[in-house]
Amino acid sequence: MTTVRRLRTAALGLVHAEETTDDQGRATFAVHGRVFAVLDGSRVRLHLPAPDVAAITAAHPAAEPAPDGVTLALEGIDGQQLNHWVRRAWAFRAPPELAETAAAAATARPGEVGDLPRAIGRPATRALADAGVTTLTQVAAVPREELLGLHGVGPKAVRVLDEALGRGESS
């Protein structure tokens, strides 16, 4: 079972995802203006291609196909499944180059992305790659607050990046 809060966290943790409200007052989640999820009470409609709709309806009997995806009750899906399907819906609606960058970032390994230091760890490496930041030069152009705003980039990773850039914590 999952919650509206978990849905929001999953959706808004994706690159360029934004929450707005549609003309019916429902929360919508979009990437570059293209809606990938709609929250309707305790149900979510995910915009997905037909093969994904078939997979969800086969795995979740209470899921209902919709003209542009599938609708399911949040209590009928666990958090890990929700994260997976929200990410699939995001990738389906995101611009192709953004979806490709995110797919590559999902398998990014520390020490194997540009010149980012291995010591920042896997979550930070993936978060930076997901945001399209793959070099120390790019890191230097991102304000510390934005780095810390990326899910997976914590104070330790920022400290390691600062050290790699040769700048102190007071920068």
Dist. CA 127–CA 43, nearest whole Å: 28
Is residue 45 classed as helix, strand or coil in its secondary structure? strand
Q: What is the pLDDT of residue 171?
A: 43
Q: Determine contact, residues 39/119, Cβ cutoff 8 Å.
A: no
**What pLDDT, in 10s, does the model give residues 77-102?**
888 899 889 999 999 999 998 888 88
* In the chain, % of residues over pLDDT 70: 98
- Give the pLDDT confidence of 12-70 residue by residue, as tens digits: 888 899 999 999 999 999 999 999 999 999 999 999 999 999 999 998 888 999 989 99
- Crossing angle of helices 79-93/96-105, nearest 10°? 140
**Beta strand pairing status for 17-21 and 27-31?**
antiparallel
